[in-house]
Structures are given as structure tokens and as C-alpha cells.
Structure 1
């Protein structure tokens, strides 16, 4: 790629929430290590607060249900993007919509690189075979980084600087000043990755030394977690009680987040909050670990009792009897990890 004064890169990642959150530390490293970059990100409007920290990232949020819906909508989107004169396109999504955009940019003479999702490798790890051998695949962050490497850009994910912590504007958080406070996000897209409520309560019963905030979910989950929170004086659910931006500010100021294989874990890691991930029927070796989190923070079920884990990449396929795997999660290990992260405020 040409080493002119400023290089303008178009980055495409429209969904899902966790995947978009995973782009943030990669873009952070990219900008910290390449002073001559200007980046435009095409994503959904809801994810805009993810990028608040960046002065040299511009967002474009297409109307995918209106003006930019369907093939002709993509053509309209391409026409408006083309006018911005990008030097290169990084497709971090690699779905039909982004493939069409990339094809149009290539026809237009723009250098493009696309995400390799590693589908064949992941298929081998999720096959219905108790003799399969687990081994770690590239993380999604590494796969994103490879896209930029293809464009000739320098990017080292091991040398990211600490960012300035967000300030919490909501008065709700004032009561936690000076106290250890952790977050728990027990839900995920599928029940194979969601923490059973009885296991959540077992964890909460042992967390009487810290304040706990519960995150995530819609109306049904809100009702469930509010009932749980009422049982404990140190537990609060904030589902639908704060704005999305306020929620991000709160997550950024937690001592640690306990999450499932879900977007909340990736959001916390994006904000440089330590993350303890509880895995169900997916597995960290598939590459969806939260960014820059140690192996000790990956809490998995007993794989000798449940040898088919991981049963799918996203948790959408699983034998029903395998849902009992959560009963083998080491709760004491989770508590010990929380204590390590809250010790400073206690002392």
C-alpha cells in the first residue's frame, strides 16, 4: 500500500454486538501503531457508542431496513461510500452484503481484504465425535488483524496502550464509590450458553463481599433478574434502567465482569475491564474468547463428562441432555478470581 501522508481505510462490520465489540481493540491497536491512518467504519447505529474514544474514526450507519435494504440498497450504499475515495477496504464481516460491497469496490479498482472465518477448522472442532481432539484456533481478534496485515498495515495485538477510563454520568453509580463492584451477565443468544438461574444464585450466595450488578436481556430476562436481585442486599439489576451508553460507562468502571460466551464479555474486554467467562456448550478454543484475557479466566464444564463440547460454533446446536454441563462448573474458582480482582479496593 502506498505510504502517502494519510491512508483512508473503510472497515465493514455490521453485526452482531459481540463481533462489533471485538473490532474495537483491534482498531485501537491499529491506530496506535499507524499514525497516518484515517478509518471509516460501516456498522449499525446502535453500536455507535463503542467508538466514542476515537477521534480519527468516522461512522457510517446504513439504513438496512429502508434505504439500503436489498441489492439496490447496497448499490446506493456503495455509491455514497465510493465518493469518500478510500485507499483500501477491510471486510471484517464477510457475509453476502459485505461481499457485494467488496466486489463493487474491487471493480472500482480499490484494494480489498476479507475476513477468513476458518469455517473448516471450526467444523472439525464441533463435529459429533467423542474422539475429536481439541486445539486452539486463531482468535477472532487475530483473524481481524490478518485482514489488515493483508492490506500491508502494521498491527501487533500484544502492545495496546491502556485507554482512559470512561466517566459514569448516571447518579445510580454514585453509591458504589470506593466499593468493590462486579458485573454478571448470565444470558446469551442460546440457552446452551446461558447460565441457569440456580447456578447464578449459587454464585451470588458466595459474593457477599462485593457489590454485584446484573446485566443483559429483554423483558423476560429483566423480570427474572429483578426477582433474583431482591433476594440479596448487595445485588442490583440494571436491565432497561439506564441507556446503552450509560451501561458501557458502568461496565468500564467494574472491578471485573463475569459473562458467558456473549456480547457482554466482549464489551467489558473492549473497555479493558477484566472478564471471567463461563463457557457452556461452546469452547474458548473456537476463538471467541474475550480480548486479552488469560486462560485462567476461562471456566469450562467437565469435558470428560461432556466430550462432545463444543457442540457448535455459536451454541445453536446441542444435545438437550448436555445442558446439565453447567452443574460441573467450578464455582469456587470463579469466586477466587473475583476476590483477586476486588482485593485492592477491600484493602
Structure 2
């Protein structure tokens, strides 16, 4: 049997589909080939996933893989993207398809009228519900993330820090309204440095706490701002691949993060995650997924604004021009929760 799973983007959304791959393999064993269709820029996220037999990827146009897909002769399609493009693939292949319910109408109601008709259910659980015709149920093992051996980072050699003795701070996000303001981050880093200096023996750390800044090339300017205003940060933004950044996150003691792909990678490693939310809301069902250790997840959000959520994705700037969803976040809570996790 051959099954094609479709999710074109992005990093976090693809990571959230990984339980589906594992469950399909568990159900059908060696009798199934699982193929995955995604954009080429996101293929590294799945590069060494052991449940995938083959990744089909394209740069811009689906026609790049049309013939490749048609000659594969799939028995089933699991469409976890459900848009015009994925419907095009289904039409091409004329193969039975299970399609994920995106709940776009319910999200639209919440964004535009603050009417909440969304289920209290994580998107992973809804992805898995798509597999109901296969009689597949959630194994509650959480997310998967596999790092190629050649992209694993020796943090002691490359960054001068000990594994499990530093905090990773993911400063980037796909949209500006999902980014914690760079001006507020130095205070958090400095306070964590001061507080942990008094606890270094109790923490059993070899050296004073370091905060590793995680992000892409687009975050380099913000990272430099933070680095220049702190004494205890290490700037890795734009210097490492997605998988290398994932490796740094895997070895962190605690992860502070915006609502972004690296947040879900941290959850895949079952890390303590302090998740900071701006214009989007956890109610969309895409908060850190750690069913085995829900106590690892802390949500930091401002629930006292009638303009939030203003988008299901994000904006380049706050539509109201005040950005109170992030500006009014309580730094003290972030610091206290980080210290609590560090002392565990």
C-alpha cells in the first residue's frame, strides 16, 4: 500500500503532522509506503524521518512533481493542507482522499466577531481524526523530530556551553505581530542571569547561565540589538540551519519562544516551553503539544484585549498601532516560569 500525505508548509505545521506519519506506520507496518508532498524549502524538516519512504518536493509549481506523483500509483491520500493546490493533486491522481477539516469558518468568526465556535481540541488531535476510516487512534506519544547526524551541533565545542545548562530564546516568527518586542528581551536575559547567579550551586551548573538566541537570517538585526545590550547571550541567528537550530534547542534546559515553528520543535523534544503569544491565540489549537508532559507547557498571553485575535496568521505591524498584545506581556511571569523550570 502507498499513502501520500500532503502538507505544503510551514515548519511548525509540518512538525504537527508527524504523529500522523507514525500512526500510519504503526497501523500498517512494513506493508505501507508513506510518501510526503511538501515545498522544497521545508523538506529538511522531514529529511530523516524514519516513517517516510519518500519526500516529493517542489520549488514553486506543483507541475514540477506532477509526473512523479502520477507514476507512484498511490492507494490513498491524506490531505492535511486542504486548499486549492492539494485538491489539484487529488484531481490529478484520482485517488481516494481523506481531507482534514481546517475549520476556516470557525476561525473567521473568532477573528472578526470574537465568536468562539472552535472545539477545545489541539490540531494534532484533529489531524488524527482524519485517519478515522483507517481505525487509527492517538497513541499520545506527541510530536516527532529527527535530526540528521551531520547537522547535530556540539554546543560545548561550538558555543562554549554545557548541554542542558542553558536557555534557548527563539526570537523570530513568520510575522511581526507574533514576535516578542526585541526591546523587552534584554531585561529578561539580564534578570535571568542575576537570579541564576545566586542559584548556581543549587542548579549544579558549571558556568553562569547563558541565553542562546535562536532565529533565521531575517532576525540577525534584532539579535544583534539584544546581544549588544546583554552580557549573557549567545547569538546564533542566521548562522545555523533549521536542523542545527533544532539540535541547539534539543540540548537546552528551557525554551522561551514565540508562536513559531521552533516552538513545535521544542515540544517534539518534550522540553519545558514558555510560549509567548501576540496577535494569535492558543484557541486555534496550535499551542505546544506535549500530551505526556503537559506540565512542561506555559502559555504567556494577554487576555484583556478585545482586539485579539486580529488574525489567524499575523501581520507586519499591529493593525491598531499599539501592539498591546505583546507590549503588555508581563516579563516577570516569563522570568519566574523560566527559573522554576531551571530548578526542576
TM superposition score normalised by structure 2: 0.82
1:39 equivalent among 10, 34, 41? 34
Alpha-carbon contact 2:3-2:74 (below 8 Å) kept: yes
In structure 2, what is the equivalent of residue 3 of structure 1?
A: none
Deviation of 1:88 after TM superposition, in Å, equals 0.7
In structure 2, what is the equivalent of residue 287 of structure 1?
A: 285
Instruction: Report 1:260-271 matches (<5 A).
Output: 260-271=258-269
Alpha-carbon contact 2:18-2:144 (below 8 Å) kept: no
Over 3 Å counting, the alpha-carbon distance change for 1:49 and 1:62 in structure 2 is closer
Deviation of 1:300 after TM superposition, in Å, equals 0.7
Deviation of 1:33 after TM superposition, in Å, equals 5.2
Superimposed CA distance per residue, residues 138-161 of structure 1 (whole angstroms, 9 cap, x where no aligned partner): 3221222122224x1413152459
Deviation of 1:312 after TM superposition, in Å, equals 1.5
Measure the CA separation in 2 of the matches of 1:63 and 1:162. 23
Over 3 Å counting, the alpha-carbon distance change for 1:47 and 1:163 in structure 2 is closer
Instruction: Report 1:228-243 matches (<5 A).
Output: 228-243=226-241
Alpha-carbon contact 1:183-1:254 (below 8 Å) kept: yes
In structure 2, what is the equivalent of residue 257 of structure 1?
A: 255
In structure 2, what is the equivalent of residue 187 of structure 1?
A: 172
How many residue pairs end up in the alignment?
322
Over 3 Å counting, the alpha-carbon distance change for 1:162 and 1:171 in structure 2 is closer
In structure 1, what is the equivalent of residue 328 of structure 2?
A: 328
Look up the SS of the partner of 1:20 in the other structure.
helix
Alpha-carbon contact 2:190-2:232 (below 8 Å) kept: no
Alpha-carbon contact 1:166-1:252 (below 8 Å) kept: no
Look up the SS of the partner of 1:201 in the other structure.
helix
Deviation of 1:255 after TM superposition, in Å, equals 1.7
Superimposed CA distance per residue, residues 132-184 of structure 1 (whole angstroms, 9 cap, x where no aligned partner): 4586543221222122224x141315245988888774344432225521211
Instruction: Report 1:146-185 matches (<5 A).
Output: 146-150=129-133, 152-160=134-142, 169-174=152-157, 175-177=160-162, 180-185=165-170
Look up the SS of the partner of 1:113 in the other structure.
strand
Measure the CA separation in 2 of the matches of 1:162 and 1:60. 16
TM superposition score normalised by structure 1: 0.82
Q: Which consecutive aligned stretches of 4+ in structure 1 deviate over 6 angstroms post-superposition?
A: 161-168
Measure the CA separation in 1 of the matches of 2:23 and 2:256. 25
**Further displaced range: 88-97 or 285-294:** 285-294
Alpha-carbon contact 2:6-2:38 (below 8 Å) kept: yes
Instruction: Report 1:1-347 matches (<5 A).
Output: 7-32=1-26, 34-36=28-30, 37-65=32-60, 69=61, 73=63, 77-106=65-94, 110-128=95-113, 132=115, 136-150=119-133, 152-160=134-142, 169-174=152-157, 175-177=160-162, 180-208=165-193, 209=196, 210-219=209-218, 221-292=219-290, 294=294, 297-301=298-302, 303-304=303-304, 306-316=305-315, 319-344=319-344
Alpha-carbon contact 1:26-1:157 (below 8 Å) kept: no
Deviation of 1:227 after TM superposition, in Å, equals 3.0
Q: Which ranges of structure 2 fall in alignment gaps of 5 or more residues?
A: 197-208
